Structure 1
């Protein structure tokens, strides 16, 4: 073991400074093993895929070797997390504590999207009275004026206002669409540029998956060059990459852009071109031609949307996605669409050309810069249209899907079926060392699914990739019990929701709240909520349903402050929610989390594995569901003091052959199948209630 590896190990000893700085610190061999494995990967330029069970303390396990490596070698280490909340915790809590523990002078910086920062140019336009504001927008400006003048970071996280006002943050936030870049009159005070400069100087850069992936696609224009990368919550990285590396044409974005240029209603002409016509009377003819083109572009966009709505009918009034098959993609090659499409595309392109002509005729710099923004944004929309409807629609390694809302097409999107291969080419090949860590990566102790799906197969074959499993230190045999209700109907049965309501009602008789119910379907959750709400009301229990009673973050806060509450949620609640101690006593999993085969991500993965001659269920659907199930189960026990029960209402866990794979992959070993009649007494007894 090298000297610096000795240094890593010594930091975790109970008689070291870590015990003095972190009041709740407990020495865990699993944490030390993980940290040493990460140190070894950094030192030997290797890749490491590590599963670290809940409670190990993986953040400090990777932060300690990362900091020591950066300081001793002068090499920058980038750390990527799934959520901004964890990113913020590392920057504001963990790294400052680590400075004291290590007694080292190292620098760190947070890298995140421009929308988090105040745009000084937009703010001054508002202060100068150049933008008309709604009531709440004006209230926000009044509340942040003093902060805006004093802040050194311009970071939204510093703004302390009510949530209703923070929703209006977009009026002052930095945006790619409105950025003047090097032509901005306030460039020297640009908070985003300050963030970028700080990031380039830092030893440790902390970012999030979304930002990291966006930066990859623009060839690292924001993040500095780096060769050492640690990805936390790695189980979600490839899924997030699928979304971030996709191309989407959102019709409302294109329409908003055209309306911002010019719009004519029954009484008024509005938009930027109308303003220019007043400012440049000698250019009225050219501007008038441009207005006519923009109006034509708006009409043709409506015509394209109308064609889509006519040819791809949806009776579903909620938001969903439809992946197009070969026959459906061929409709875009038929004469009726091609005629509309070519006129639409040519008109939008002509608008760009005319704006460039207008820009050359204008002599006022400020107005020219603003026109540059419009040109750049419309060119980006044209690039999306061309990519989607002339390139990707004809490629066998791409999928195309329509996004519906309220029965109408709101967007067209495409993505590669081999996201892992893109990550391999654009990210992994540039690295000397990569660490990917999460509590849920392996299936029955095997990392094959994760390695294959994430694009790491070649590194594994070359012997450059190592794997590690460190189990949770929690005493699950004493802390948790899982009950499987074997006589529940399958989740697609009409009786399922009624029997679900009866089960929950029975639990509420002795446990009035502190219950989390996980769903995989918005429609099923709505049906269950309609049945459960009157039951909860009658028992004095507050029912909190995602998207009905609020968004995820606000519902969690309300749940925490309300002792008698039942929380119902979808994907967001299967991972990343941390309810320690008495906050959660009963976790109900309504259905095994198999993805819908019609979901774009699932269709892409299925096509990818089928083209390789593999069974899509065993190669993708099953291991993906097992990892998601393990994430859901992990919501219950979050500390050594927690104690609770898991109730699985999906009888397939007991009746199907693959059920054993799910059970083998949960840390909970107290598992009992019983009937609905038996479960109430068993559950109450285990929790210590007397019926």
Structure 2
């Protein structure tokens, strides 16, 4: 994001800043970048969001003409100057040092704000506001976060020695007509399905049982588990963990549902959100990051945003910031509170109660309800220094993601870029015998601690490390190059840098002639990385007499240990992938553009979940709107290895799907594998979008199809606004534009199949281009398929059914929504398994029709009531009820 910020004045040429890549000198882009720094939680690509927050009136469509862009840039610059002018002088000086003097393209506006302050005669005490020579770290001492008071922990829970049963009647009364939830929540309506679910959750908590619940959209499942969970936790002094897959649901629980809960219930329920360590800012690392100098514009822009944020944040959670992908890497590598860099024993922030991670942990220790995500839940037990406090009972929402999250978290990924970054951070040749980087910096700390006699000692240790780092850089680069050659030869494809490709490493590959260069390259890389590891170990040992003598020394040792651990873990992961394969894992190499990665993942997660979750906890409750396949929980239970005594419950949606939703299934479409399919689909999309005058979400299974449809719709429907994922902006930005634009069509893939919520008329039509089958060549899918007798029906179809159910669920989000779903895949009617998909969907009114009838039927449904449809077209899908 920072690299594309652009100059604050003038043209379209590029220039280099801070040794980084070219920055486009576009005044509007630079103004939005500065606005994003000041707003903190809105990204630089979100014009509409920035405009709303700063009071800048901006049109829905970004101006393309130079004059229009300049006019809009001036409005943003004016708003930024006003906001900068209201900052504390010390902070404004810090931003000036970070962003001005050619360091970033944002300097001119900051310069003007600084000059305005000087004209007002508001100079800082003991400082000259016109001078930018002080170090950027000057204002990251305690005074930069002086408003952060030491945290008063609510105290650990007093756990009852025996499970105290809570009353089902009290739970149901709270959720019923005239109950406390009804009084606390405006517009609340008691729902029978919610009561059924709450009763089942109560029994599970009381008796320590396993329970799986499919709760249809609109059930109110969050309160159905939060009410009994809070009553149980308070009565027993026991913590109940609530685990979700997405941040969106975490925020909904914490900001919407839990405040209602606390208002409604008589007991004082303590609630906390806890995330993985890398989500939290480490103040020690922030000081180090700023004092070591900032290489380029991206680092300086992120530092400026954090300089403002750190003065007010109570949590230090990066989720409060709008951080780009590039900035995310900077955060992880330099700022996060990861375990490798933690110096708890002598950390002054920990002692003073200012450490954000420690504060989050103390909140968690006193919480009755602790909200986490699946990734942290599944990996915390394996950590050397776990984050989660003790708990016995857990509720997993969005449970349909559990297998995928377990696969990801229990596997490993190694990239050439990350290893190269670590080696370059350690040792940076500067000509002759001079080096920069972590090793050289920490050598100076050793000399300061040991005195002049230590200079020769540390030089004898660091010289071999520098040599080993260079050898390792070359060897690792060679390893990934020969691995890329192996992948290209195996796929018989070219070496196009824009192509995403994967190669599963099987026994046949390892026994073939092409494996020889890979094995040889790995031997060399392994030996070189081992030398780096041993050198760092020796350097850490040299500090032993001085550990604890100062924070500077402890910081140095922590950084060395972290670098050593990173190198060691990379070597261990590569050994696991290349030299010591196991029958219980799947291995593959992948290339996306110029990025090359190597991977390992568990072939199955059931045994791992059994040992890490099922055998360790008492009540385990899993819920989601999409669990069943064809009316059965069998697939879900088998994939997760749930114990036989696990109870299951289906709670149907309260929505009147036959009246609210029309499902159109064309009979005469080309097969999805046919060359004619794409053209026919594009014409249908143009007709449907015109009939709906926008208000349509189209879900794709590939970016190539999405891009082709985007170009076609732009040409065929110029009166509509076409918004394409990855074309017209990031996910959140185009979602906001879609909600705000009456005649918009939104084209999405991957993440748009679930987790988006557009209520009302803004979304009235959903088009699903193809059934969302997993690509057969996906390494994990292919390996798991080989273990099954009928992999298509046992794995491919169930996975696609669950994804289709998620996609379908984007349309009807409330009891007043009405709309149309069209599935443009002929396999629904030409393949035997098509009925399994239809049986798994909510009970909408279904119409089998011709492709040419689609646009007309869409228009009819929106303008007429469902009863007006021709009866012979209508077929039921099932009532979606039942209990297994």
Q: Structure 1 residues 239 and 563, CA, compared in 2 at 3 Å: closer, same or farther?
A: same
Contact conserved, 1:239 with 1:601, CA < 8 A, in 2?
no
State the partner residue of 2:167: 4
Residues 165 and 359 from structure 1, CA distance in 2 versus in 1: closer, same or farther, beyond 3 angstroms? closer
Comparing 47-56 with 279-288, greater Cα deviation is found at 279-288
Query: Residues 81 and 87 of structure 1 are in contact (CA less than 8 Å); yes or no, is this contact kept in structure 2?
Result: yes
In the other structure, the counterpart of 2:438 is 272
Using the TM superposition, give the Cα deviation of residue 165 of structure 1 relative to its aligned residue in structure 2, in angstroms.
7.8
> 390, 398, 409: which is aligned to 1:244?
409
CA RMSD of aligned residues (A): 2.5
**Aligned residue for 2:680?**
499
Distance 2:341 2:723 in 1: 38
Moved more, 643-652 or 149-158: 149-158
| In structure 2, C-alpha distance between the alignment counterparts of 1:221 and 1:367, rounded to whole Å | 23
Compute the displacement of 1:266 (Å). Answer: 7.5
Runs of 4+ aligned residues of structure 1 deviating over 6 Å after TM superposition are 160-168, 265-268
Equivalent residue number for residue 614 of structure 2: 428
SS in 2 for 1:103: coil
Asked whether 1:145 is paired with 2:307, we answer: yes
Please report the TM-score for the alignment, with normalisation by the length of structure 1.
0.92
The residue correspondences of 1:205-604 to structure 2 (distance < 5 A) are 205-218=370-383, 221-264=386-429, 269-276=435-442, 280=447, 281-282=455-456, 283-313=458-488, 314-315=493-494, 317-331=498-512, 334-362=515-543, 364-391=553-580, 393=581, 395-406=582-593, 410-456=596-642, 459-460=643-644, 464-536=645-717, 538-539=718-719, 541-604=720-783
Return the offset for 1:495.
Answer: 1.6
Higher relative contact order (CA 8 A, sep 6+): 1
Counterpart contact for 2:691–2:856, Cα < 8 Å: no
CA 146–596 in structure 1, closer or farther in 2 if over 3 Å, else same: closer
> Deviation string for 1:521-574 (max 9, x for gaps)?
2222223223223224x22x2222212222222221222122221111112111
Residue 674 in 1 paired to residue 860 in 2? no
SS in 1 for 2:310: helix
Kindly report which structure 2 residues correspond to 1:138-177, keeping only aligned pairs within 5 A, or say none. 138-159=300-321, 169-170=331-332, 171-176=334-339
Distance 1:107 1:584 in 2: 38
Check the 8 A contact 1:217/1:245 in 2, yes or no.
no
Report the 3-state secondary structure (helix = DSSP H, G, I; strand = E; otherwise coil) of the residue aligned with 2:662.
strand
- What is the alpha-carbon distance in structure 1 between the residues aligned to residue 634 and residue 568 of structure 2? 42
TM-score between the two structures when normalised by the length of structure 2: 0.73
2:186 counterpart of 1:23: yes
Contact 1:441 1:447 in 2 (8 A): yes
CA shift digits 1:571-607 (9 cap, x unpaired): 2111111111112111000001111111133124313
The aligned residue for residue 88 of structure 2 is none
| Greater Cα offset, 91-100 or 278-287 | 278-287
Q: 1:164: Cα distance to partner? A: 9.6
Distance 1:164 1:250 in 2: 16
Contact map agreement 1:309 1:409 (CA 8 A) in 2: no
Alpha-carbon shift at residue 277 of structure 1 (Å): 5.6
Report the CA distance between 1:293 and its aligned residue: 0.9
C-alpha distance in structure 2 between counterparts of 1:239 and 1:139, whole Å? 35
Q: Give the conservation status (yes or no) of the 8 Å contact 1:245–1:415.
A: yes
Out of 332, 336, 349, the position equivalent to 1:186 is 349
Deviation at 1:253, TM superposition (A): 1.0
> Which deviations, in whole Å up to 9, do the C-alpha atoms of 1:108-161 show, x marking residues without a partner?
11111223222101222245x322253354344344435413433222344489
Compare CA radii of gyration and give the structure with the larger one: 2
Tell me the SS of whatever aligns to 1:312.
Answer: helix
What is the alpha-carbon distance in structure 2 between the residues aligned to residue 455 and residue 220 of structure 1?
28
Query: Any stretches of 5+ residues in structure 2 without a counterpart?
Result: 1-164, 448-454, 547-552, 866-884
- Shift in CA distance, 377/686, structure 1 to aligned 2, threshold 3 Å: same
Q: CA deviation at 1:335?
A: 4.4
Deviates more, 1:468-477 or 1:115-124: 115-124
Structure 2: how far apart are the matches of 1:652 and 1:203? 49
Aligned to 1:80: 243
Partner of 2:108: none
**Alpha-carbon offset, residue 269 of structure 1:** 4.4
Q: Which deviates more, 83-92 or 408-417?
A: 408-417
Paired residue for 2:36?
A: none
Cα deviation for residue 229 of structure 1 reads 0.8
CA distance in 2, matches of 1:370, 1:444: 53
Question: Secondary structure of 1:80's partner?
Answer: strand
The 8 Å contact of residues 339 and 385 in structure 2, kept in 1 or not, is answered as no
For the pair 1:135 / 2:297, whether they are aligned, the reply is yes
Asked whether the 8 Å contact 2:166–2:231 carries over to 1, the reply is: no
Kindly state the Cα deviation for residue 322 of structure 1 after the two structures are TM-superposed: 2.5
